[in-house]
Structure 1
């Protein structure tokens, strides 16, 4: 009995001990819970800060890869990207919390400040929220730029389009604006040669500059018979010698190389005569009213200076022939056109005055456009202004040969002669350099027909009868070809140039200013991508278009 009572008492004491432990455990649960929730707060803050950092890194990278070149533009791109990255994370974020801006050494810097993360438990003893911040810096992949502005300076550019502004004037303003944008980018760059620009005005020929007369490594005074074919003179003559005989100077224009050199950037080489360039020289044509249109008629070929709009025109009479017409129609014209003697020093005083000072008549007829400008580093203000001065010298003069303009635009970017100014694309520096052509034209390629034995004026292809222009079939055009035949042949040379230049890595932007559907299709195909062709229907749109292209070109520089 007594033992039973003691067992019961011991059991009750054991129950009392368990109660004490329960009380102690209950008391300990309070700090344990606080500690647990505190750890959860810390973990949550850590996770959200990491998510915030990841989102900021992605947004900063997006901003760096954009075309933006100002803090405001970068901020717009970065904020939009950050909002997308943060969606669904439960972190309240506004544009006021983030900034994206240009940093030193071609970087973009993203920053987030004062982002609030509300704790679960710490607000029990504190009214303050947790504030976190993050930062990110992305180095932009930087390419150097070599940009050729290949610009139509033909007579039609002197007309208005839309608003009443002359196209050539609008072009000058727009291209200067592009230069300003790219020069500003060059000034911000760490490299001292980040952006180089060349200017290539073109008409039916290209003016390389008269200072190159003695560059015999690539300029041949005498037209080579190999590739070029027969000269317009009785025998091949050194054109510089003829000019000197007559007291005249070369204006700087050149003629097109024969196929296939006319569509490549292959270097001229004296061992390959057809690869050489020759100076432009428009021959003297027969004197007015001396050659009969046919042998049985009194109708004669007439000079437009003496007869208004002659049906059978003499286009470039600037020297007395000194011979009498003889033979058939064709030979009577040739008898007066080809003699070498009339280009002798004895005729110096007889040169037409307009041939001495202008480019409407004489050996430089058609070479009224300003000379090209080779690649120029626009980092310095003086060099930037020099490029803009060259652009300001452009005038509207002559017919259209886009192919010649493109060829010389490519030559200015090439590492091959005649200039060899461009970086070699196979070198380390070359692999970081983007070559760009900005091509603008306002019309179809032209080589018009005339009712005389030449059936053309003298152009970058000489007279059409010389057979120096080949069509898509590789057939040389003759005097019997139509204006459409000639347009199509030049179009084909243009297409080949576009294809060949793009195959060598040249990026092409194309602008059509009020062009026909025919030319538009060619320009669209020429552009590197369809959205790199711009259709302009009002001259006042040009500045906006050029600024858009300048922004896109900068993107080529800052991203890969």
Structure 2
């Protein structure tokens, strides 16, 4: 065989081999294309089912909170509970119409003094678009969500402006109605006494702690030119035609000063010595005590029982809803604005020490503590600054420090400014709010009720943990 014929034969053999190799690749590709496409399609279907599962989880999470709010006392029957769960879920899970909902069920447990729990279970089926090539015509999934309440207790201090301008535009009347509704709203979330406590702190320039406390050792009577004994008493054996009305004036004309009996005090206290005016330090010394005051203006002692108008005394934390409402309904508008002293006493009302002695915290529970401050204007006076009419930046500065300390203690602050007089927005009230969503700037007294309802719903929901 010639060399040429051998070469030609080799070429023909190589050509046949190449043709055979190409055929093998085509066969191999044909055999693998189905599982490859199935795997790619399964990945797409898995992404779809994961999205559907996430959406169902979000819908169940929202639905369980709604059902828990409706059945906070565990009085719904199983049929009613399931009907509400399905209705809420159906309204929330609308973004995946391709999913077949197999079931949504609710189960309640607890009550009778124990924490209450509602468990929502949901399951669905998603028809596949690609995985059916691998023999999976649909994919099933399930999720659950739980709401538990009764492990968190709520303590709220209502710090309410009782200054003279609250008489304008129906603000005080609107405040009283809204505060009563808030008490109803929060008390309804309590399963047993002590789950919810509320205090009421009316304020003007001073606060009224009650004249019956004149024997308490946390009252400061003397030690400065503005304290009670300095300005309440009588001067004798003095030189001059006009009777001095203060200790210092009496002594300056050679007189003898006799302080009035403490039982004559009408119940007002002013800001504590700085910097205790911005803390909740327990009163254990003269420096930390609360200075007695006679809040007197235009012929009226504003804290005197029976005065008209009168500054209503503080009501410490209580779940006597009738008493709390009576305190709110008795409020009258009088005097200048010192939000800081109201906030300071709101904080003291949440504190487990003298003078208001909040009930001890049970270590078996967690607590939500909040202050709701409502005022209709800007700060005008405190113990040291302001004239009672014009805005005082110095009072704002004291309040800002106080709010920093309150928030650092883990207490939420809701601040509501009711501005019906065209005044500027209160920068310090917006600053004091725990976050921008907790500051409410109202221009009408009619907005007070809806604002209190919003805050009440927020606080009630904080008692539910997912």
Fold match (TM-score > 0.5): yes
Per the TM alignment, residue 536 of structure 1 is displaced from its structure 2 partner at its CA by 1.5
d(CA) in 2 for partners of 1:433 and 1:57? 27
Any conservation in 1 of the 2:418–2:442 contact (CA below 8 Å)?
A: yes
Aligned pair partner of 1:395 in 332, 342, 358: 332
Cross-structure match for 1:92: 100
1:158 aligns with 2:64: no
The alignment status of 1:507 with 2:449, answered yes or no, reads no
Normalising to structure 1: TM-score of the pair?
A: 0.57
Contact kept in structure 2, 1:56 and 1:110, CA below 8 Å: no
**Relative to structure 1, is the Cα distance of residues 201 and 429 closer, same or farther in structure 2, using a 3 angstrom cutoff?**
farther
Please tell me whether residue 110 in structure 1 is matched to residue 120 in structure 2.
yes
Number of matched pairs? 376
The runs of 5 or more residues in structure 2 that have no matched partner are 1-47, 72-82, 129-137, 232-245, 251-256
Q: SS of the residue aligned with 2:379?
A: coil
Structure-to-structure mapping, 1:425-440, within 5 angstroms: 428-429=363-364, 432-440=366-374
Partner of 1:496: 401
| 1:388–1:74 Cα change, 3 Å | farther
Shift of 1:211: 2.3
Structure 1 equivalent of residue 247 of structure 2:
234
Q: For residues 93 and 259 of structure 2, what CA distance do their matches in structure 1 show?
A: 70
Instruction: Say whether 1:69 aligns with 2:33.
Output: no
1:478-528: CA deviation from partner (whole Å, max 9, x where unpaired): xxx877997111111111111110011110001000166644322111100
State the match for 2:175 in structure 1. Answer: 171
Deviation at 1:140, TM superposition (A): 2.4
1:128-179 deviation per Cα after TM superposition (whole angstroms, max 9, x unaligned): xx9x99894614264211100000011111111xxxxx11111000001011
For the residues of structure 1 that align with 2:309 and 2:265, how far apart are their CA atoms? 10
Contact kept, 8 Å, 2:99 with 2:127, in 1: the verdict is: no
The CA distance in 2 between the partners of 1:398 and 1:556, in whole Å, is 36
Offset at residue 407 of structure 1 (A): 0.7
Contact 2:337 2:388 in 1 (8 A): no
Q: Deviations over 1:18-50 (max 9, x none)?
A: xxxxxxxxxxxxxxxxxxxxxxxxxxxxxx999
Q: What's the counterpart of residue 308 of structure 1?
A: none
Aligned residue number for residue 8 of structure 1: none
**Structure with greater strand share of residues:** 2
Structure with max Cα Rg: 1
Is residue 2:153 matched to residue 1:211? no
Unaligned stretches of 5+ residues in structure 1:
1-47, 120-129, 161-165, 284-314, 318-357, 378-382, 448-459, 462-468, 470-476
Is 1:376 equivalent to 2:318 in the alignment? yes
How far residue 204 of structure 1 moved from its aligned partner, in angstroms, is 1.0
SS in 2 for 1:538: coil
Which of residues 151, 158, 179 is equivalent to 1:149? 158
Task: Determine which of 418, 421, 428 is the counterpart of 2:355.
Answer: 418
Distance 1:193 1:365, change over 3 A: closer
Deviation per CA, 1:256-289: give whole Å up to 9, x if none: 111101111011113xx11111221358xxxxxx
CA offsets per residue over residues 62-95 of structure 1, 9 Å max, x none? 44467972269976664455445xx38x43349x
Cα distance, 1:156–1:435 mapped onto 2, change above 3 Å: same
Q: TM-score normalized by structure 2?
A: 0.68
**CA 1:75–1:416 in structure 2 vs 1: closer, same or farther (change >3 Å)?**
farther
Distance (Å, rounded) in 2 between the aligned partners of 1:543 and 1:202:
20
Structure 2 contact 336–388 (Cα < 8 Å) conserved: no
Paired residue for 1:194? 195
SS of 1:159's partner is: helix
Please tell me whether residue 409 in structure 1 is matched to residue 409 in structure 2: no
Residue 361 of structure 1: CA displacement? 11
